[in-house]
A = this chain, B = another copy of it.
Amino acid sequence: MSTIKDIAKEAGVSIATVSIVLNGKGKERKISKETQSRIYTIAQQLNYVPNQSAKKLRAAQKDSYAVAFYWATDFRINYLARITLGIQQEIMNLKKNIRLTVIPYKVDHLEEQMKSTQNDFFNGIIIANMSNTDMEFLNTTYVPPCPVVLFNRESPKFSSVTMDNYKVGQNVARHFLAKGLFDAGVLTHDTTFPIMRQWMQGFLDTYKEEGHPIGEDRIYLCETSSASAFEICKRLAAEGTMPKAMFCESDVLAHGMLFACYETGIAIPQDVEVFTIGINMPEINDYTVPSLSRIDIPMGEIGQECLRMTVDLIEKKVPSPTVLFLEGKTIIGQSSPLG
């Protein structure tokens, strides 16, 4: 990488002259036309790219933080947009100069990504969507260079903004149980996302406590796609083993299920009721056929709180680790009306 020094040497002028010209102040400072064009040409030849760190240092930014936002690149990219939006809104609110750098990582490979990223140049880090493997890495080997806040995860070591995920599962179970739907199933992802297992635990425990334990065979593991849920539900329809109530652990799966029921002539909610966790935009689930009953994860809000907490940690206004719990929003649609 060449610098203005290189250009100055090549052009036979001083560094100051180069700086003036490249910042478009040549005319104002009455630098000769020739000198200017010579400098521009050489800058181009040497492939000059200004060093923004140096510029910034010189400009002495006040209250300027660099925050990294790690996000998984799988099927959940949709909802990450809303997290980012929440984070950005909070940045506006705070009226500070905060640069949010988005860093993608592959689920189960957070470690590699973190090693290749130079985290020492951030003031704070927010991490979303970690798998158990990723949590394991964070909780054991990782040494943070700055405050770290986890999105919807819990850890003994790091701050986080999360939900009472066990209670989410409990609430879904109670909704079904209140309607006498004892033959229930769970449609879930086959990967190990901690929160999904917490939801399921709350759901299963509640059914068991109420005297209607759900068998292992009623837990259906899908790939993380509508297509996979579609296949499984088509099979259930063909076998005639569809339960009376299905708890879908994400709307991605619920979409596949709705489509399977549509194709096989199973009526929702008459034949089977569907309750899901909303991770997509609320609107999408309001206009599915039929519309989905669900508990929406407050993505934007969690993002917002993550950013606020990160700043508070940077400024040492809260102790580390701090944990904040938020509530999910229950929305009753057509797929499972109130009892």
Contact = CB atoms under 8 A, between A and B. Distances in A.
Given A283-B226, A284-B284, A121 B52 contact: yes
Interface stretch (A6-14, A82-90, A270-278): A82-90
Given A51-B57, A259-B289, A287-B258, A101 B104 contact: no
Interface string A37-74: 00000001001011111111101011111100000010
Nearest to A104: B88
Nearest to A61: B53
A53 B56 contact: yes
A236 interface: no
A90 B162 CA distance: 32
A94 interface: no
A82 B262 CA distance: 29
A283 B287 CA distance: 15
The number of times this chain is found in the oligomer is 2
A53 B50 CA distance: 14
A270 to B, nearest CB: 15
Contacts of A80: 81
A288 interface: yes
A117 B328 CA distance: 34
A216 interface: no
Given A57-B57, A120-B55, A291-B259, A315 B73 contact: no
A281 B59 CA distance: 42
Contacts of A291: 259
Contact of A259 (B81, B226, B287): B287
A289 B288 contact: yes
Nearest to A97: B118
Chain A, interface residues (CB within 8 Å), range? 35 or more
A64 to B, nearest CB: 8
Contacts of A55: 120-121
Contact of A57 (B49, B53, B226, B287): B53
Contacts of A73: 85, 88
A49 B123 contact: yes
Given A1-B63, A49-B314, A121-B56, A287 B44 contact: no
Interface of A: 1, 44, 47, 49-57, 59, 61-66, 73, 75, 77-78, 80-82, 84-85, 88, 97, 99-104, 118, 120-123, 225-227, 230, 252, 255-256, 258-259, 262, 280-281, 283-284, 286-291, 314-316
